[in-house]
């Protein structure tokens, strides 16, 4: 099987420090992969390597993806371009017809209420506005793959919802990082947990799902768990998890002193 993108035994050293160690992952048409880990664990570095922005020290990244849309964690500051000028320029590097790019530009700028800023210099745009520009530049050419580094950062609540809905509807494979529960629960189908640049847990798509009913103490206890659906009723949470995530989820819940009331296999 040929993959949209595949990383094979990727290592990255910066200034003599090992940042990533032996990372392998595969991305196919239906991938919705969350890369998670603590601050400094190497998530952004890995996304940059997948995007081809940074070279691995050893190992390789290959695949059939021709157009990769990448949203960096921090949109570059002090770019001298105006918003529309920047979007047209960056999309021209990726190919695609002018008519299709103009059409997408209108659609996406309307969707994110960016029309009033099209002729504003990026230097004076707010952080959230620049983030929207970063998102639009990644989507505008209809990429084969999206790599999103904390894409909700700086967006207001309404724009976050718009982006989540859009990403759920698009049929584009996505690899992303996020500390935001809303995006994690709505988008992630697979999870790659990295610690100190190494893969600790790799959770794929499971054949069967499990329903877990749990009594929790604080809402915080449920934050960041890779669950696909969650219903809350007082201090009781019921959620669905992919089968091979369930051990990890249960361990996390127990670590946080939650009481597991029921674990049921779904057919």
Ligand X SMILES: Nc1ncnc2c1ncn2[C@@H]1O[C@H](COP(=O)(O)OP(=O)(O)OP(=O)(O)O)[C@@H](O)[C@H]1O
Q: Please, what is the minimum distance in Å from the beta carbon of residue 192 to ligand X? A: 12
Candidate ranges 25-33, 37-45, 135-143, 162-170; the one touching ligand X (CB under 6 A): 37-45
SS3 for the chain, per residue?
CCCCEEEEEEEEEECCEEEEEEEEEEECCCCEEEEECCCCCCHHHHHHHHHCCCCCCEEEEECCCCCEEEECCCCCCCCCCEHHHHHHHHHHHHCCCHHHHHHHHHHHHHHCCCHHHCCCEHHHCCHHHHHHHHHHHHHCCCCCEEEEECCCCCCCHHHHHHHHHHHHHCCCCEEEECCCHHHHHHHCCEEEEEECCEEEEEECCCCCEEEEEEECCCHHHHCCCCCCEEEEECCEEEEEEEHHHHHHHHHHHHHCCCEEEEEEEEC
Candidates 39-47, 77-85, 89-97, 257-265: pick the segment binding ligand X (CB under 6 A).
39-47
| Site membership for ligand X, residue 45 (CB under 6 A) | yes
Total binding residues toward ligand X, as defined by CB under 6 A: 12
The 109-138 site mask, x for binding ligand X (CB under 6 A), equals ------------------------------
Closer to ligand X by Cβ: residue 41 or 141: 41
Q: Is 153 in the site for ligand X (CB under 6 A)?
A: no
For ligand X, the binding residues in 51-90 under the rule CB under 6 A are: 73
Q: Which of residues 11-30 bind ligand X (CB under 6 A)?
A: 14-15, 19
39 belongs to the binding site for ligand X (CB under 6 A): yes
**Taking contact as CB under 6 A, which single stretch among the options 35-43, 87-95, 155-163, 211-219 is the one that binds ligand X?**
35-43
CB of 54 to ligand X, least distance (A): 8
Binding site for ligand X (CB under 6 A): 14-15, 19, 37, 39-45, 73
């Amino acid at each position: 099987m040929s993959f949209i993108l595949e990383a094979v035994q990727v290592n990255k050293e910066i200034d003599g420090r090992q940042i990533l160690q032996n990372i392998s992952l595969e991305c196919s048409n239906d991938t919705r992969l969350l890369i998670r880990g603590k601050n400094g664990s190497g998530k952004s570095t890995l996304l940059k390597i997948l995007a081809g922005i940074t070279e691995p020290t050893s190992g390789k990244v290959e695949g059939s993806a021709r157009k990769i849309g990448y949203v960096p964690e921090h949109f570059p500051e002090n770019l001298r371009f105006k918003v529309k000028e920047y979007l047209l320029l960056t999309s021209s590097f990726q190919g695609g017809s002018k008519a299709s790019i103009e059409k997408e530009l209108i659609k996406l700028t309307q969707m994110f209420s960016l029309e009033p800023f099209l002729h504003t210099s990026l230097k004076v745009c707010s952080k959230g506005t620049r983030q929207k520009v970063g998102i639009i530049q990644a989507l505008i050419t209809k990429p084969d793959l999206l790599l999103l580094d904390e894409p909700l950062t700086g967006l207001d609540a309404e724009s976050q919802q718009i982006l989540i809905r859009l990403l759920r509807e698009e049929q584009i494979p996505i690899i992303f990082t996020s500390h935001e529960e809303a995006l994690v629960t709505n988008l992630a189908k697979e999870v790659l947990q990295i610690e100190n640049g190494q893969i600790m847990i790799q959770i794929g798509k499971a054949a069967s799902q499990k329903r877990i009913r749990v009594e929790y103490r604080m809402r915080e206890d449920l934050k960041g768990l890779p669950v696909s659906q969650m219903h809350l009723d007082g201090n009781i949470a019921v959620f669905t998890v992919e089968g091979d995530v369930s051990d990890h989820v249960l361990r996390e819940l127990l670590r946080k002193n939650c009481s597991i009331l029921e674990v049921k296999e779904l057919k």
